[in-house]
Amino acid sequence: MVSSSTAATMKSPNHVRSTSLPSRSHPLAQRVEEQLGKLRAWNTLSSSSSSSSSSSSVHPTSEMLCESLNGLVDLYDCVGDLLELPLTQQALVHHRHQKWAEEALDGCLRMLDVRGSAGDVFMKMKEHVQDLQSALRRREPGVGSKVSTFLSSKRKMKKDIKKCLKASKRTENQSTLFPLLGDNQHLGVVIHVLREVRSITISVFETISSFMLVSRPKITLVGRSVVSKWMGMQRVACEGEAKKMSEMERVDATLYSLHSSNVCKDIDAESMQIAQKQLEGLELSIQSLQDGLDCLFRHLIKTRVSLLNIFNH
């Protein structure tokens, strides 16, 4: 994971409150803030790299995405510890009938919805990848059609998860203002933490989705010229266009190559082998991300249960 000193802190889109905690906050709250800083730094660097066309950009890899999910898990661990504090529970119970209490519970549900949408995307993508691998191994004549189906399904998956993320961000932007002052300072800190955690969770999911569901490669040639150029890029991956492409863009470029070659009846064994190898790596990456999502799901559930237990006390 990128350290907080590597990049500037990302500004959350729903800042109706302070972006940092009071200097006299509880040490556990400060731990949460430190973990938030690491994730903001990672997300800032990853987002800027994904959108940059510079050949010197370092695109986020699937390994980095998995590390970000691990970072979210660590963050929710810290939140869990904060919620277990008697000081926190007393403050929450005393003010449990205020609007922010409903907001906190609804926020957990929204994060579970986002995680569910991401999980569905990875499950469907894995199924398509396995289908493609099987077609390539058997040298099926309809491989071009399967590639087309895979690329089309990615566009639909991207649309679905963007809709879910947009709805969650819109609700976050409507969060009510709660001051970090007076006798309720610790309560204000907890509310601040819960909101910031939701905000960074959405941001991380946006980055992961943008990486996994990239719409098209940067290569737009057709027929044998696609395969020839891509094969050359594979041999000199440290130069030219290959260096400017993300991990997923390279997979998509190879699939577009196969599709075009299949249409032109010009597909070759070497291209098939490259595609198979890349798809095998992609399947492993998806599995790792699914494992990270499953772990995060358990922590999201734990956070919601903790809040429910406190509010129902």
* CA gyration radius, the chain: 22
Confidence grade of residue 176 (pLDDT, cut at 50, 70, 90): low
> Distance between CA 234 and CA 119 in Å, rounded?
31
Confidence grade of residue 290 (pLDDT, cut at 50, 70, 90): very high
Mean pLDDT (the chain, rounded): 75
What's the pLDDT score for residue 133?
Answer: 87
Q: Which of 174-178, 235-239, 276-280 has the lowest mean pLDDT?
A: 235-239
Would the pLDDT of 274 be above 60? Answer: yes
242, amino acid identity: A
Q: Over the stretch 27-74, which tens digit does the pLDDT of each residue have?
A: 888 889 899 998 988 877 766 555 554 444 456 788 888 999 999 999
* 279 vs 269, higher pLDDT: 279
Confidence grade of residue 152 (pLDDT, cut at 50, 70, 90): confident
For the whole model, what pTM was predicted? Answer: 0.78
* 178 vs 83, higher pLDDT: 83
**201, 43 contact by CB (below 8 A):** no
Q: Which residue has the tokens 């509010």?
A: 311
CA geometry: angle at 52 spanning 50 and 57, to 5°?
80
Count of CB atoms within 10 A of residue 239's CB?
Answer: 11
CA atoms within 13 A on the CB side of 71: 27
